[in-house]
Chains A and B, each alone.
Chain A
């Protein structure tokens, strides 16, 4: 059993509460919960973290990584680069080593001797005989494997200064009522902790120190938050088909409904969830429920939306409330099913044949996943049309440190224009597709409302304002232009863009949306510190409101930062707002990893330099921040 420390040639990275730890593991080895335990322990010490699970489309055997950015300032984007690599997977050894910053650290399992050629000379190597430690302590092979992960958490706690009481508390919460599991985990942690303290005193220049930077904020996955948004927004019907990265959303809805939506007196459910046979059936069920006045949603990803498009056209044309939460992943086709992208904007905005346009909402984090999911259910009823919540894998499947979820008890569901039996009885004229209020939104009746008034036949074929079958040109034009008017009405109802003005007046602007948010916020600050002033506008919905036009008009040049190849939002801005293409400069990141502040700073600096402005560089603070 050999514990060893080999110093590298580059000076040690020294940082407090500001570094990146990456765990390289084998999928299915039980590392995920240990790694999450590590991330949570830092939050409990008041230090913000942003972990990201980088996982394969696989259940067992393929490489998987868990990257934790520690940053007491609260920057939550992926930083890029690694200061401490916990390399537990021989398959990816070389690649993992490459990612370590010069002067950074490698922690590896030294139970078997590694040839010196296997290491880099400019990094600091910490060998911990994890396999041997577990082999000595445990006899059960499963325990040896699983607890190895907890042992390295113990070693890290010793090296970094994580308070053992915090870990013990978290383990206690995790294994509440399961003493048989708790004890071996605590034991393994303590073994690692003692080993770390004994052999690795001051071996690491990275430290965790208690802070008070967490406050009331929460740590939640976007999919869980969206699921809660659907509970709070009054969804009663959910139909879905399993697809990464959206499956945990529907499962989260089931979990929260089981807690929050069971009638106490009868034990019966105030919700219905159907795992359908495919995405076509999922959206069909949602369309049927929406037609019949229940709030309904489906959660899916790009390939699912492709399958749903015929129904989406029906819901648009027949004007049926539908909420679709698209947790985007890398496309096209099966693409990168476990990687992130913002590449479904066009396929959702114009889903289905014929002239169609749909409302899209772009949440930036779990908090907005909650807000926008609830809002989408209101908007769907108000506008009687499909509403897309465009989240992505980065937000959906990673725990994110964010503002707590809030609900105003005064708030009421907006059920939209539904004509009641009393109104029908009172003789109110009912034309299902009649624009009574001038906003393009007609009134509807729900099946079973009145014995003799208000029934109509819903169809995907053309009809007149009273829902009578018609292929007459004027009837068709009346309907489709009214739909455009309705889309115009939507502009004022959707979440409005968020402007962040630079400290000084700027001729440059940046437009961005969704999960680009944390990287952009960090880039904004970093650039400003270097004297580069750029106004930013975070778009939160399509159709675009007038504020977007104003923002573009007020700047000479506007960068559009997106996580797709084809600059899809830029295309929509050009087409929908008639903005001159030359004015919109795309900055595109689409390799499947979440965009970083470094990338944005680099890209903007390059363009600004080309524009003959004082050059700037990505900020380097020590080796650990940018």
Chain B
């Protein structure tokens, strides 16, 4: 490369990858999310995955919608171009960007409100078109930025901060993506870096539509009656602070468990998430089996995590559209404009 980055000041023992980049070269601005937010763990996993894959940071384009999750692209890969688009519409913008230049890696970051509610249509169509991308849903089942409304992935029967019980059935984006033809489908947990980093690496290396649904607990809107860690409880017991900007400090939830195991994870709101890690012998090449598998475990109240399905031979939208190998945005006048003589021939036929 002609334009290698100058090394930044960093700890001398920080290891560099083959390109000479340290992890710091894959970082972005300082996060403005709440301390302990699962989304920050996902950003860290993305940094780790890109560093390990030895991706040139500027060869990634990161796109997002609106919401807490969609703010995160500012907090990693600072040398990449980013685009914080409009609510629920990241998939179409990413599709257009990808069509313009197939030579970059496309990373879409979204949330459950962004993808399962306002953007469900765009989510579905980007998956079925096979846009070559890594699409990460940072799924916390809640609208964080607008302070705690249910999202469409919230479990039926769960209780919001205001004590409202969600009566609607939850949308499972993983099951949808499988049905719609996504060619790489995984689910993970923000606190399980050991699982998440390889899953992201696999997605970045995959050609086609790759979805990773990452369950990512929200530390802020965990309110339920009786909880000593609830927003209201803390407010009642700490009168010195402003109720709008006070945020109790919490640690990010982590979970380490082995393949095939079930682990119960107690979230900040006290709810228990039963994660089952796919067994080591699981065959992710069988789409129908994957759909069946997910449904079976869902009926037992367990959420399957891991790489659920992959089709390594998948084609992508460029393949479907039979576009040239070069990036469309690099084609010049001579390649695009048919010229005056061709136009005269067209005129001659138009009478």
Chain A positions within 8 Å of B, measured between CB atoms, are 40, 43-44, 214, 216-220, 228, 231-232, 234, 236-237, 239, 260-261, 263, 266-274, 276-278, 280-294, 296, 310-311, 314, 404-409, 412-413, 421, 424-425, 445-453, 455-461, 469
B59 sits at the interface (CB 8 A): yes
Closest to B98 in A: A288
B74 within 8 A of A: yes
Across the interface, do B101 and A294 meet the contact criterion of CB distance under 8 Å? Answer: yes
Residues in B neighbouring A43, C-beta threshold 8 A: 351
Q: How far is the CA of A349 from the CA of B323 in the complex (A)?
A: 34
Query: Which 8 pairs show the lowest CB-CB distances between chains A and B?
Result: A288-B96, A284-B92, A294-B100, A447-B81, A285-B96, A292-B100, A452-B5, A288-B93
How far is the CB of B125 from the nearest CB of chain A, in Å?
A: 4
A273 touches B324 (CB 8 A): no
Quick check: is B243 within 8 A (CB to CB) of the other chain? no
Task: Tell whether B350 is near chain A: CB-to-CB under 8 Å.
Answer: yes
Contact across chains for B328 and A237 when beta carbons are under 8 A apart = yes
Contact indicator A293/B93 (Cβ below 8 Å): no
Contact B333 A292, beta carbon cutoff 8 Å:
no
Query: Which residues on the A side are within 8 Å of B100 (C-beta)?
Result: 236-237, 288-294, 296
Q: In the complex, what residues of B have CB within 8 A of residue A268's CB? A: 322-325
Is B84 interfacial (CB 8 A cutoff)? yes
Taking CB atoms and an 8 Å cut-off, the chain B residues in 291-348 that contact chain A are: 317-318, 321-325, 328-329, 331-333, 335-340, 342-344, 346-347
User: Are B86's CB and A451's CB within 8 A?
Assistant: no
| Pair A425/B3 contact, Cβ less than 8 Å | yes
Contact A451 B95 (CB under 8 A): no
B97 vs chain A, min Cβ distance (A): 4
Most chain A beta-carbon contacts within 10 A, residue among B6, B59, B85: B85
17 extra interface residue pairs, beta carbon distance < 8 Å, beyond A43-B351, A270-B324: A217-B351, A277-B124, A280-B89, A284-B92, A285-B96, A285-B99, A288-B93, A289-B99, A289-B329, A408-B340, A425-B3, A450-B58, A451-B56, A451-B79, A455-B81, A455-B82, A457-B81
Instruction: Kindly supply a per-residue 1/0 record for chain B positions 69-91, scoring 1 wherever the CB is within 8 Å of any chain A CB and 0 otherwise.
Output: 00001100011111111100101
Residue B251 lies at the interface, judged by CB distance under 8 Å to chain A:
no
- Asked whether B121 is an interface residue with its Cβ less than 8 Å from the other chain, the reply is yes
Residue in A276, A287, A413, A448 whose beta carbon sits within 8 Å of that of B58 in the complex: A448
- Pairwise interchain contact A296-B103, C-beta atoms closer than 8 A: no
| Contact B324 A448, beta carbon cutoff 8 Å | no
| Contacting pair A272 B339 (CB below 8 A) | no
6 contacts between A and B (CB under 8 A): A236-B336, A278-B121, A283-B92, A289-B329, A405-B346, A448-B61
Chain B interfacial residues counted at CB < 8 A? 67
Closest chain A CB from B316 CB (angstroms): 12
Candidates A404, A409, A447; contact of B104 at CB < 8 Å = A447
What is the minimal beta-carbon distance from A223 to any residue of chain B, in angstroms?
A: 13
CB pair B97 A291 closer than 8 Å: yes
Q: A270-B336, A287-B96 are in contact. Are A460 and B328 (CB under 8 A)?
A: no
Chain B residues contacting A452 (CB-CB under 8 Å) are 3-6, 58, 79
The complex places the Cα of A286 from the Cα of B74 at a distance, in Å, of 23
| Given A269-B324, A294-B100, A294-B101, residue A285 in contact with residue B61 (CB < 8 A) | no
The reply to whether B101 and A228 form a contact with Cβ atoms under 8 Å apart is: no
**Contact A455 B350, CB 8 Å, known A278-B121, A469-B74:** no
Q: Which of A219, A286, A413, A447 has the most CB of B within 10 A?
A: A447
CB contact under 8 A between A270 and B56, given known A237-B96, A405-B343, A407-B340: no
In the complex, which residue of chain A has the Cβ closest to the Cβ of B78? A455
Within the complex, what minimum Cβ distance (angstroms) separates A301 from chain B?
A: 19
Chain B: CB-nearest residue to A236: B328
Q: How far is the CB of A83 from chain B (nearest CB, A)?
A: 24
Name the residue on B nearest A233 (C-beta).
B337
Contact of B61 with A292 in the complex, beta carbons under 8 Å: yes
Query: Is B328 in contact with A271, judged by CB distance below 8 angstroms?
Result: yes
Bound-state CA distance A219–B350 (Å) is 5
- Please, how many angstroms separate the alpha-carbon atoms of A43 and B335 in the complex? 35
Chain B residues within an 8 Å CB radius of A278: 121
Q: Which residues of B line the A interface, CB within 8 A?
A: 1-6, 56-59, 61, 63, 73-74, 78-86, 89, 91-101, 103-104, 121-122, 124-125, 129, 317-318, 321-325, 328-329, 331-333, 335-340, 342-344, 346-347, 350-351
Q: Which of A407, A455, A469 contacts B339 (CB 8 A)?
A: A407
Bound-state CA distance A273–B100 (Å) is 11
Instruction: Give A386 Cβ to nearest chain B Cβ, in Å.
Output: 14
- Do residues B83 and A218 form an inter-chain contact, with CB atoms below 8 A? no
Q: Closest CB of chain A to B122's CB: distance in Å?
A: 6
Q: Which of A280, A281, A406 has the most CB of B within 10 A?
A: A281
- Across the interface, name the chain A residue whose C-beta is closest to B104: A448
Cβ contact of A291, chosen from B57, B80, B91, B93, cutoff 8 A: B93
Which residues does chain A contribute within 8 Å of B57, judged by CB atoms? 451
A274 to B91, CA, bound (A): 13
- Cβ contacts under 8 Å, A446 to chain B: 81, 101, 329
B89 touches A284 (CB 8 A): yes
Looking across the interface, which residue of chain A has its beta carbon closest to that of B342?
A260
Q: Which residues of A contact B125 (CB under 8 A)?
A: 276-277, 281
Contact of A236 among B4, B129, B331, B346 (CB under 8 A): B331
Contacts A219-B351, A276-B125, A293-B101: A270 and B82 contacting too (C-beta < 8 A)? no
Q: In the complex, are the beta carbons of A292 and B331 less than 8 A apart?
A: no
- Determine the distance from Cα of A217 to Cα of B80 in the docked complex, in whole angstroms: 51
| Chain B contacts for A458, CB-based, 8 A | 81-84
Given A216-B347, A284-B95, CB of A274 within 8 Å of CB of B335:
no
User: How far is A314 from B96 in the complex, measured between Cα atoms in Å?
Assistant: 15
| CB pair A218 B333 closer than 8 Å | no
Q: Are A284 and B342 in touch, CB under 8 angstroms?
A: no
In the complex where A220-B350, A446-B329, A448-B59 touch, is A239 in contact with B3 (Cβ < 8 A)?
no
**Neighbour of A218 across the interface among B73, B97, B338, B347, CB < 8 A:** B347
Q: A236: which B residues are within 8 A, CB to CB?
A: 99-100, 328-329, 331, 336
Q: Which residues of B contact A214 (CB under 8 A)?
A: 351
Question: Are A459 and B84 neighbours in the complex by a CB distance under 8 Å?
Answer: yes
**Which residue on chain B has the smallest CB distance to residue A280?**
B89
CB of A548, distance to nearest CB on chain B (Å): 32
Write the nearest CB–CB distance from A513 to chain B, whole angstroms: 25
B324 touches A266 (CB 8 A): yes
Is the pair A288, B97 in contact by a Cβ cutoff of 8 Å?
A: yes
Known contacts A228-B346, A450-B58, A451-B4: does B96 contact A239 (CB below 8 Å)?
yes
Instruction: State in angstroms the CA–CA spacing of A406 and B97 once bound together.
Output: 31
- Min Cβ gap A68→B in Å is 16
B89 A218 Cβ-Cβ under 8 A: no
State the Cβ distance, A448 to closest chain B Cβ, in Å.
Answer: 5
Q: Name the distance in Å between A45's Cβ and chain B's nearest Cβ.
A: 11
Residues of B within 8 A of A292 (CB): 61, 96-97, 100-101, 329
A462 CB to closest chain B CB, in angstroms? 12
B351-A218 in contact (CB<8A): yes
Q: Are B335 and A270 touching (Cβ within 8 A)?
A: yes
| Inter-subunit contact A447/B84 (CB<8 Å) | no
> Which residues on the A side are within 8 Å of B95 (C-beta)?
274, 281, 284-285, 288
Expressed in whole angstroms, the Cα–Cα distance for A14 and B331 within the complex equals 58
Q: Which residue of A lies closest to B92 (CB)?
A: A284
Q: How far is the CB of A217 from chain B (nearest CB, A)?
A: 7
Please tell me if the beta carbons of A284 and B93 are within 8 angstroms of each other in the complex. yes
